[in-house]
Structure 1
Amino acid sequence: MIKRCNDFGAGGVSVAIGELADGLDINLDAVPKKYDGLDGTELAISESQERMAVVVAKDDVDAFLGLANSENLSATPVAVVTDKNRLVMTWRGKKIVDISRDFLNSNGASKHITVKAAPAVLKKQSVSGGFGENFRSLVGDLNICSKRGLAERFDSTIGAGTVLMPFGGKYQLTPAQAMVQKISVEKKHTDDCSLMAFGYNPFIAEESPYHGAYLAVVESVSKLIASGADFRDVYLTFQEYFEHPGKDGSRWGKPFSALLGAYRAQMELGIGAIGGKDSMSGTFENLDVPPTLVSFAVTTSKTNRIVSPEFKKAGHSVMWLKPEYNSDGLPDAASLIELFEKVAGLIKSGKAVSCYTPGMGGVAEAVFKMCIGNGLGFDFNDKLTVDEIFGLSYGSFILEMTDVQPDAIGTVTDRREITRGSEVLSLDALLNTYEDKLESVFHCNIKNHGDAPETVSYHTDCRVAPAVKTAKPRVLIPVFPGTNCEYDSAKAVADAGAQPEIFVINNLTADGISRSTERFAKLLEESQIVFIPGGFSGGDEPDGSGKFITAFFRNPEIKEGVSELLDRRDGLMCGICNGFQALIKLGLVPYGKIIDVDADCPTLTYNTIGRHQSRIVRTRIASDKSPWLALKKVGDIVNVPISHGEGRFLASNGLIRSLIANGQIATQYVDADGYATNDIHYNPNDSAFAIEGITSPDGRVFGKMGHSERVGSGLYKNVTGDYDLRMFEAAVRYFR
């Protein structure tokens, strides 16, 4: 139905709509506005994010508007494609733009400049100082140090397709060198995955834009190979950002040199750039950005081919494989391609179990980051000089091998230290420097409150059962503004043998809300389970999330339907993340019914760390009372992705004690030894008693923060563990 599509961004209507066809008649009065008072020019050129412009056939307009409304999306006809080859905009009945497309396509008057490119020379790098001095300095460098406190602010597991977490190993500290994500399919499953990696060194680019661009391509592609991909069907896209050149030929020479370097890399490696974005405005007063050409490399692979960079086992030998380098300091392309094939073969055969391609910090950075994920050490032998350990070596690879290698550069050890001869560096001391550098800006190692919580265990042989059995229970999944986990949830439900029903709540108009309420109440009568998925309801409103969800469920018709489901039909309910927040605000957990909550009721509030947390946590089954947990045993440990900013469970000690006594504490955050903890590395939000999930008194309503619906084969390969809570399977069995 959609013929063309463009996103709104810089340039607003003029660009987003103006690029869709040669002839356009745009009615600016029809463009939806957030604010009144904008004149025609402002409407035409103002940036407007989170909107899309689409072209549909005239006969499809009504059908498209209907589909948009069914998804709770506002859609408005604002322009018509014409055959006049002109861009026309009208505002308040007057033409304020009427420009020939031929003129627009000319990009204005021709401009000329004589480019003066500096010689492409990269000085040979030298390293001063000793092994320990350089190592301590390296891990505290802003370009090398931990960015975990920043990365964890973004949802890394949405879509239930994450093959490599941003940080791997049992301590989740080794950064992955590539994004690896399963290809998204709505209802079925696949082992196909996409990979993306970037390359760029501003110091090299500043010295020689030519070398910087060439090595950016090499680095981005090498990261794909190090992650398990083949050197096949690799494509590039470039992000370019340079100082404002004005009429200075030497300033124009920098992007010119960078493009030549990138072009040479593409031609020699036989791969092409299929997209990109550039800006020549990187100047503020007397400050200029360094010449910037960031290369992004993309390809596809299979999940069973993917390898992560953290060291796996003490005793393994570590090899350093390098291409040949030309006199200009760049890798020889034929040698590099041959090395790509060799590394891919070692990974595919299972002989190499981890791999890292050195970047700005050389071999030293690679070895350190490979160590920290699983807390393993490394012993350098005498084969490498300090210059080799800390120097640049783009296009080379550090590989952890399962067999003894005579040419190894060292050995993985079980000691938390990095050694070279008589020099011994504490891994913990290096890690503290590495993580503390940005701790004051991007927190990740704060002290949580309270004493060590009790590790709860509640056993029961008596669970509730439904009055009426159902072979294929229907699961109603409401979608509110901001919900983003409905497809993951529906797939998990269907995989367990239930029949999911995704229902989008329409709140565009009062009539839409009324019709949604009526329809939802009807679907509720036909369903056995209600599942409220996660997301950011209303964009995570001030003073807490989930308020629109709770307002909807407090509608008398819906409230009565929920009561009938739970009290008379023995149905089940569950809410995850944002859904858990809604259940808490409704009183459905821990009370089992919708009530008017007050200050004495439990709540979910902002994480003590003061930011969003996205990572893998370990949870322990604390009670087997709930039908949702019937296929797990008390004490079982289950890994689960979390992604929330308001997950801190708070309640009075008296209430929590009563929940413990009644078996309503379902799951707790636990440490590496399986004990409930307040440690920020395991309890991500500082929940009281390390509570991750609770239930209603009879266990049929279950709320939890962790995204247990984000399960599947080939996921989270660099953070090993059991991820299947089997809660959906247990819910289906409850009705059979």
Structure 2
Amino acid sequence: QKGNAPTERKIQRMFRRPEVSRLIRKCNDFGAGGVSVAIGELADGLRIDLDQVPKKYAGLDGTELAISESQERMAVVVAQEDVPAFLAYAAEENLEAVETAVVSDDGRLVMTWRGKTIVDISRAFLNTNGAHQETDAAIVMPEGESFFRKVRLSGDEEYCAGTALDEGRVRELLMERLSGLNGCSQKGLVEMFDASIGAASVLMPFGGTYQDTPAQVMAAKLPVEQGECDTATLMAYGFDPYLSSWSPFHGASWAVLESVSKIVAAGGDWTKIRFTFQEYFGRMNQDPKRWSQPLSALLGAYRAQKALGLASIGGKDSMSGTFDAIDVPPTLVSFAVCADRLGHIISPELKKAGSKLVLIRTGRDEYDLPDYEKAMRQYAALHEDIVHGRVLSAYAVDAKGFAYAACQMALGNRLGFRIEHSVAPEDLFAPDFGAVLCEVRDSDVGNLQSEYTVVGVVEDTGALEYRNTRIALDEVKAAWDGTLEKVFRTRPAREQENGVPVPENAAPYQPDIHCHVFVASHGFAKPRVFIPVFPGTNCEYDSAKAFERAGAMTDVRVFRNLSDADIRRSVEDYAAAIDQAQIIMFPGGFSAGDEPDGSAKFFAAAFRNEKIQDAVRRLLEERDGLILGICNGFQALIKLGLVPEGRILPRTQDSPTLTFNTLHRHISHMVYTKVMSTKSPWLSQASSGGVYVSPASHGEGRFVADQAWIDRLFANGQVATMYCDPEG
């Protein structure tokens, strides 16, 4: 199952081309079944020549070729007369493509290898899905007190719902929820995964000025090459292992509603939701009671779908969650997916002091199952409230209670809150799946269409307050961050790699407010921008769109390297394109897969070719051309010497370079930068000393050079920006 992300990106590029997609009659991705499934499912009758299947590894026999999993491949059906055109398009995208099978009309799946037929099976037999199987299942009723009548405190301690809770324990219990493994910050882990590379992202994983309020949904615009799109897709999940362990039926029922509540809290229309379920249970045997868990969970999810009138359109299951006598908790995770208008989406962090905190509940029936009728009414009303701007932020409540949800909302912008005196201490921590905590302007509370309870007010005090309890947000954040900080760091140790403490004022440089913007001597009403695409490049569409929006023409070209002839033609092609351009844009991505110490190697190797290097020199020295590099493209500029030397040069021992982030891991989040010089035309509209926020996604984002180089760069006005905090 070795992945191949650059090849996957090439396939994405090819399938985005309208002239290619119009040729495709049917397609299937390669997965666990290999050729036999990926190609075998495409038509009733097929003749597959296994000798034509490209091999990752030598020595595979016919059986291995037929059933081996092979990632980042697609099987495509095209008309016989369209095969040459399709193969030509694949070559343009630097993709290996071969004809491996022919559709027949005899209803048989036939595979040949080395001239021999090794598979010849009737499609009618395959469609039977094998031998009929059935088993007995005995539903096991939940044992003991209801999950909703026993509120988890700290450790294994519980108390019965409805029983008064000592007010003096509020601090202890809240801090326990914030620091427990099921409630603590996972920011250091989340930032290792890319969320900021695409221009279509709507919500980052963590919101607010300080990026500390976790988003409960994924939200991204649909990508379009021309024009703008105001449609966004949303996805959220629901699952609680403790609830499911008590009752898989209840667990699945509430998992469905929890996933819906998160979509609604983000501004999505619940009526447009569809589900996909991920199921994971212990290994089954002949004991009917073992089958109770998957059957109960599926019945709970089915009942929820029927009640809501919403369907599950996909899913995946596994019955292998057993090791010796240990079983995984009965797991049915509900993923809710929908599309909605971009303008309807709201983020979860608190935004304005003086706003009210309003709790919108959905309720439970006498069996502690969701009151679906009330949930549908509440969610419809809440969606209307959000669409009309009456709700500033919202957060779906779970088993940890609404006090925990309020803390999560507060951290992003460091806004505190005060909980109403009338709220009972035990209600702060009671499980409330399906409920949504909303921030509403004081003047809009009376206009809400939902049934609600005012539970608090947002305050600019930097603390949360409840009766006689006051907890500073710094304490809240310390408790939330601390549990996993040593495992998944969010802050570097305050020491350099050689053990010398970092001085408090490590960068005494000031912005240059007197610099003059360089103006090219050659003017063009509509400059041409050359954008090279290498294996792993993934920002060329966003880059081209940005330049075209600014009034430029773009020339996007793929560097092909499947053969020596491809490389020679690409070099000639690139040199000619640069000679016609006024700007070169090196886009971001993961050149050559970003193998260790490999960032931008492909870029640098290609542009050191003599013909391409001469074309770049002519652009810079004879035509006052510009070059821009973002992400992987900026790494290429450094490795080529274009930054900071302004020309392609061999690397020397003291050449500035990029190295690993101080966290020694990949980071994906928004960064604050201060503009130090506006001498470059790229920053002509920026303010010297101004602080700007932009997305970053890299593992090597730290520029390093000796002090002589640093002083020279500042003296020349070549330091464009520096990292800073929100205050600069």
Normalized against structure 1, the TM-score is what? 0.89
Cα deviation 1:495-537 (Å, max 9, x = unaligned): 0000011110001111111000101111111111000001100
Residues 541 and 547, structure 1, Cα contact 8 Å, conserved in 2: no
Q: Which of residues 239, 245, 249 in structure 2 aligns to 1:206?
A: 245
1:532-571 alignment runs, 5 A limit: 532-571=586-625
Question: How many equivalent residue pairs?
Answer: 674
Give 1:123 deviation, angstroms.
3.8
Match of 1:601 in 2: 655
Once residues 286 and 57 of structure 1 are traced to their aligned partners in structure 2, the CA distance between those partners, rounded to angstroms, is 54
Once residues 286 and 107 of structure 2 are traced to their aligned partners in structure 1, the CA distance between those partners, rounded to angstroms, is 34
Name the SS for the 2:91 alignment partner: helix
The gaps in structure 1 that reach 5 residues or longer are: 675-736
Once residues 711 and 137 of structure 2 are traced to their aligned partners in structure 1, the CA distance between those partners, rounded to angstroms, is 75
1:550-629 alignment runs, 5 A limit: 550-629=604-683
Whether 2:709 is the aligned partner of 1:670: answer no
Whether 2:486 is the aligned partner of 1:440: answer yes
Name the SS for the 1:409 alignment partner: strand
Match of 2:149 in 1: 125
Match of 2:578 in 1: 524
What is the letter of the counterpart of residue 205 of structure 2? P
Match of 2:90 in 1: 68
Name the SS for the 2:129 alignment partner: coil
Cα deviation 1:528-561 (Å, max 9, x = unaligned): 1000001100011332311111111111111110
Once residues 465 and 374 of structure 1 are traced to their aligned partners in structure 2, the CA distance between those partners, rounded to angstroms, is 40
Give 1:159 deviation, angstroms.
2.8
Name the SS for the 1:673 alignment partner: coil
Give 1:424 deviation, angstroms.
2.1
Match of 2:316 in 1: 277
1:66-465 alignment runs, 5 A limit: 66-119=88-141, 122-127=146-151, 128=159, 130-403=169-442, 407-447=453-493, 449=496, 450-451=502-503, 452-460=506-514, 462-465=516-519
Once residues 599 and 215 of structure 2 are traced to their aligned partners in structure 1, the CA distance between those partners, rounded to angstroms, is 32
Whether 2:632 is the aligned partner of 1:632: answer no
Residues 126 and 387, structure 1, Cα contact 8 Å, conserved in 2: no
Once residues 580 and 123 of structure 1 are traced to their aligned partners in structure 2, the CA distance between those partners, rounded to angstroms, is 54
Once residues 147 and 201 of structure 2 are traced to their aligned partners in structure 1, the CA distance between those partners, rounded to angstroms, is 40
Give 1:239 deviation, angstroms.
1.3
Residues 484 and 536, structure 1, Cα contact 8 Å, conserved in 2: yes
Residues 178 and 480, structure 2, Cα contact 8 Å, conserved in 1: yes
Give 1:638 deviation, angstroms.
1.6
Give 1:427 deviation, angstroms.
2.3
What is the letter of the counterpart of residue 64 of structure 2? E
Give 1:170 deviation, angstroms.
0.7
Once residues 213 and 479 of structure 2 are traced to their aligned partners in structure 1, the CA distance between those partners, rounded to angstroms, is 15
Once residues 320 and 31 of structure 1 are traced to their aligned partners in structure 2, the CA distance between those partners, rounded to angstroms, is 59
Whether 2:505 is the aligned partner of 1:466: answer no
Match of 1:480 in 2: 534
Once residues 667 and 372 of structure 2 are traced to their aligned partners in structure 1, the CA distance between those partners, rounded to angstroms, is 42
Cα deviation 1:403-431 (Å, max 9, x = unaligned): 16594211222223222211222322232
Give 1:384 deviation, angstroms.
2.4
Match of 2:547 in 1: 493
Q: Which of residues 57, 62, 67 in structure 2 aligns to 1:45?
A: 67
Once residues 136 and 231 of structure 2 are traced to their aligned partners in structure 1, the CA distance between those partners, rounded to angstroms, is 48
Match of 2:5 in 1: none
Residues 120 and 211, structure 1, Cα contact 8 Å, conserved in 2: no
Name the SS for the 1:155 alignment partner: coil
The gaps in structure 2 that reach 5 residues or longer are: 1-22, 152-158, 160-164, 447-452, 497-501
- Runs of 4+ with >6 A deviation: none
What is the letter of the counterpart of residue 458 of structure 1? D
Once residues 58 and 423 of structure 1 are traced to their aligned partners in structure 2, the CA distance between those partners, rounded to angstroms, is 76
What is the letter of the counterpart of residue 630 of structure 2? I
Once residues 516 and 578 of structure 2 are traced to their aligned partners in structure 1, the CA distance between those partners, rounded to angstroms, is 27
What is the letter of the counterpart of residue 128 of structure 2? S
What is the letter of the counterpart of residue 26 of structure 1? I
Report the more deviating stretch, 426-435 or 365-374: 426-435
Residues 195 and 668, structure 2, Cα contact 8 Å, conserved in 1: yes
Residues 354 and 442, structure 2, Cα contact 8 Å, conserved in 1: no
Once residues 212 and 475 of structure 2 are traced to their aligned partners in structure 1, the CA distance between those partners, rounded to angstroms, is 15
Residues 120 and 210, structure 1, Cα contact 8 Å, conserved in 2: no
Give 1:455 deviation, angstroms.
4.1
Once residues 655 and 344 of structure 1 are traced to their aligned partners in structure 2, the CA distance between those partners, rounded to angstroms, is 56
Report the more deviating stretch, 422-431 or 367-376: 422-431
Once residues 671 and 456 of structure 2 are traced to their aligned partners in structure 1, the CA distance between those partners, rounded to angstroms, is 32
Residues 351 and 403, structure 1, Cα contact 8 Å, conserved in 2: no
Match of 1:701 in 2: none
Cα deviation 1:419-460 (Å, max 9, x = unaligned): 221122232223222112122222212225433323431244
Once residues 99 and 403 of structure 2 are traced to their aligned partners in structure 1, the CA distance between those partners, rounded to angstroms, is 58
Normalized against structure 2, the TM-score is what? 0.90
Give 1:175 deviation, angstroms.
0.7
Name the SS for the 1:119 alignment partner: coil
Name the SS for the 2:333 alignment partner: strand
Once residues 551 and 190 of structure 1 are traced to their aligned partners in structure 2, the CA distance between those partners, rounded to angstroms, is 37
Give 1:256 deviation, angstroms.
1.2
Name the SS for the 2:578 alignment partner: helix
Once residues 508 and 111 of structure 2 are traced to their aligned partners in structure 1, the CA distance between those partners, rounded to angstroms, is 67
Once residues 214 and 189 of structure 1 are traced to their aligned partners in structure 2, the CA distance between those partners, rounded to angstroms, is 38
Cα deviation 1:205-225 (Å, max 9, x = unaligned): 111111111111101111111
Once residues 520 and 165 of structure 1 are traced to their aligned partners in structure 2, the CA distance between those partners, rounded to angstroms, is 36
Residues 163 and 180, structure 1, Cα contact 8 Å, conserved in 2: yes
Residues 197 and 220, structure 1, Cα contact 8 Å, conserved in 2: yes
Name the SS for the 2:271 alignment partner: coil
Let me know the Cα RMSD of the aligned residues: 1.6
Residues 159 and 184, structure 1, Cα contact 8 Å, conserved in 2: no
Name the SS for the 2:270 alignment partner: coil
Give 1:120 deviation, angstroms.
5.7
What is the letter of the counterpart of residue 138 of structure 2? K
